[in-house]
A and B are shown apart, each in its own frame.
Chain A
Amino acid sequence: MSILIDRGTRLVVQGITGRDGGFHTQQMQAYGTRVVGGVTPGKGGEKAHGIPVFDSVAEAVKATRANVSVIYVPAPYAPDAIFEAADAGVALIVCITEGLAVRDTLAAYHHVAALRARNGGDAPRLVGPNCPGLISPSQSKVGILPGQITKPGPVGVVSRSGTLTYEVVHQLTQAGLGQSTCLGIGGDPIIGTNFIDTLTLFEADPQTEAVVLIGEIGGSDEEEAAQFIKRHVRKPVVAFVAGQTAPPGKRMGHAGAIISGGSGTAAEKMEAFAAAGVPVARIPSEIPGLVGELLARRRARSNRPRGTQAKPRRKTGSARAAGAGRSRAGASKRRGAPARARKSDGGRGRSR
């Protein structure tokens, strides 16, 4: 299992005839993703990399039963592409394009949310914009993540970053810790899928046994995620927050990575995780060790006979983890909490 994408993913590429769209279509095909169609208005009927090109997403969906769309079109046109994919009925829309105007992203976000509310389920769902996409190792990749650094396994990875995600995934793989799904949710101030949405999916996914959450400065998604983990996530989570040395008021590359009005600092976010009993790695290379430790403990616990399991579930026991002392208090507080996450099928494999 995995979240959001798997072997049943049938992908349509919006912007397939562009430079980036074309290059990554080949990369995704080489990885084994089932790319069933492409869309470039005015080029319907042509072929690109052996794949049929359509004038609209609706036509592509009708002809190919595509259930996921990935967007590589230039920023001024990307919001339109999101609207189009949502209206065409794909379950998952992954917008790789960066540089969308906030006003446009807001409109697209609310359109997708309204459709989802009307459908009464988890679809359509938007991932991004300004994200590297996602990969379920050995099954499917949608976006631009390098496939060769991943391997299948029990760790779910969710991150606001691109190359930092690769760095962490690479270190996990080297440590023998494979991944269920690695998802980059994007570095913009407004994104379609946030940490809480992703944690909900990982919590419900049988393959995922532990989660690595990579946050960064700006906004309050990490703080909200920390609260959510405390109440609703029973699987172990390890957090890292980038930008501990970032100065206030300066945008650190990502449009969303800015400490404004003195809030959104890495220190606040790390504190929020620690207070919720989530071990925080101070540097990326601490992550595999923390994950390995928590996985071992979780497995040891689940091997015990029933009735002896009610132990604090998130002791870190690691002096290296910032706030390890606090995490014990957090764990005992959380014990016995009604901790069932929302059920979700991750919007997978749906087509209409």
Chain B
Amino acid sequence: MNLQEYQAKELFARFGLPVLPGQVASTPEEAQDVARALGGTVVIKAQVLVGGRGKAGGVQLARTPDEALVKAREILGLTIKGLPVRKVLVAQAAEIARELYLSIVLDRSRKLPLIMLSAEGGVDIEEVARTTPEKIVRHPIPLDGLRGYQARELFQPLLRDGKLVAQAADILLKLWRTYQEGDCQLAEINPLAVTPDGRVLALDAKVILDDNADFRHREWATWRDPEDESPGSRLARDKGLSYVKLEGDIGCVVNGAGLAMATMDLIKHYGGEPANFLDIGGSSNPEKVTAALRIITSESKARAIFFNIFGGITRCDDVANGIVQSLAESPLAVPLVIRLTGTNEDVARKILSEHGLSATTSMDEGVRTVIEKAQEVMV
């Protein structure tokens, strides 16, 4: 789960990281109230889960509460990279002398958490990594944790001044605790700002949580904003399906993530465009089949739908029953092509044929057929 900035800052504050006071608002009037309560100049920031908010006009300063009202109204009317802005964070503004970048991520090949630090903060770090990788310091965190002196050593060449180094090292140690105890996949401060009066502050916060650790964190449930998800994604999560919407017109329902990816690739290979990634998992519960079809037909421009089931532990007859039952409840407006092979394939074929459906055994043939059918629909 990706946290909004205001949520990530709440998490940071819980672990003692220095974030400036602020509050989230969903109307211009609320934003004005927050600005009045904070006093002084505030920064108003769009709360959307994409980068490049600043460039899109989603981050603005306001010197007075009245200005905050106007600016918040403006930002709340924006759509940034396809996402409508529904909330803004109104926070105390800070003067900035220097901007650094600091994050902790998982290094998959070293199998250790990795500190990434750069003197070039405030910009897109991926851009820095691409163009000037030497400007990023990478330091794996040893198995037995991070020590204070190690944190100071990392900041010494960048900040020099002992007081600044001490503050930054303290921030890094707290960020490490946030990452570890908070089960983060990414904990990022960009920019990590140095103010003219010699304070080091976390001015922005980006956090990705490890969803698999939610059994340890009951508070996470309150952070999930249903409106951040499309209805299809929400239904998929409720029913235990893995779903990603794409732009093509061939819907696909597959058991298994690897096979689902390979099915998308095959659709593209034969000249089609996949409308989605959808893994119904190992279970052949008819409810899941129904949900899968509902998600695809409601969210995508699918002109035809392809079922690709490799029955190993999943039984083909269960899936066939699921399809039949689902179609009886809500018939499809687009053609359906089914590929079934493996466990109880014969029984499945019989069930399908009793209901006027048929299935191929070859994935390649199935994909070619579904693309043809989709083209017929277009005509």
Contact = CB atoms under 8 A, between A and B. Distances in A.
Interface of A: 24, 27, 75-76, 99-104, 106, 109-110, 144-146, 148-149, 159-167, 170, 187, 189-190, 214, 216-217, 219-221, 224, 240, 242-247, 250-257, 261-262, 266, 282-285
B266 A216 contact: no
A159 B258 contact: yes
A242 B262 contact: yes
Given A242-B262, A245-B267, A256-B108, 16 more contacts: A100-B212, A101-B183, A161-B256, A162-B257, A164-B259, A167-B310, A170-B310, A170-B341, A190-B111, A246-B277, A251-B244, A252-B244, A253-B260, A253-B279, A283-B266, A284-B363
B25 to A, nearest CB: 28
A254 B215 CA distance: 19
Given A103-B180, A253-B260, A257-B261, A146 B312 contact: yes
Contact of A246 (B106, B183, B264, B310): B264
B268 interface: yes
B256 A164 contact: yes
Nearest to B181: A103
Contacts of B242: 251-253
A36 B363 CA distance: 39
B343 interface: yes
Interface in B197-242: 210, 212-213, 215-216, 242
Interface in B325-349: 341-343
Nearest to B254: A163
Interface string B242-271: 101010000000111111111011111100
B37 interface: no
30 contacts: A75-B212, A99-B212, A101-B210, A101-B215, A101-B216, A102-B213, A103-B180, A144-B313, A146-B343, A159-B258, A160-B258, A161-B256, A163-B259, A170-B341, A216-B258, A216-B261, A219-B108, A224-B109, A240-B262, A242-B258, A242-B261, A242-B265, A246-B264, A253-B257, A253-B258, A255-B212, A261-B126, A262-B130, A283-B269, A284-B262
Contact of B108 (A100, A187, A220, A283): A220
Interface of B: 106, 108-109, 111-112, 126, 129-130, 143, 180, 183, 185, 210, 212-213, 215-216, 242, 244, 246, 254-262, 264-269, 274, 277, 279, 310-314, 341-343, 363-364
Contacts, number: 158
A189 B186 CA distance: 13
Contact of A252 (B126, B261, B341): B261
Contact of A257 (B143, B257, B364): B257
B237 to A, nearest CB: 12
In this complex, which of B106, B108, B254 has the most chain A Cβ atoms within 10 angstroms of its Cβ? B108
A254 to B, nearest CB: 5
Nearest to B267: A245
A145 B312 CA distance: 7
Given A166-B310, A219-B109, A262-B130, A146 B262 contact: no
Contacts of A189: 106, 108
A199 B254 CA distance: 29
Contacts of A220: 108-109
A247 B246 contact: yes
A240 B266 CA distance: 12
A330 to B, nearest CB: 22
Contact of A166 (B244, B260, B269, B312): B312
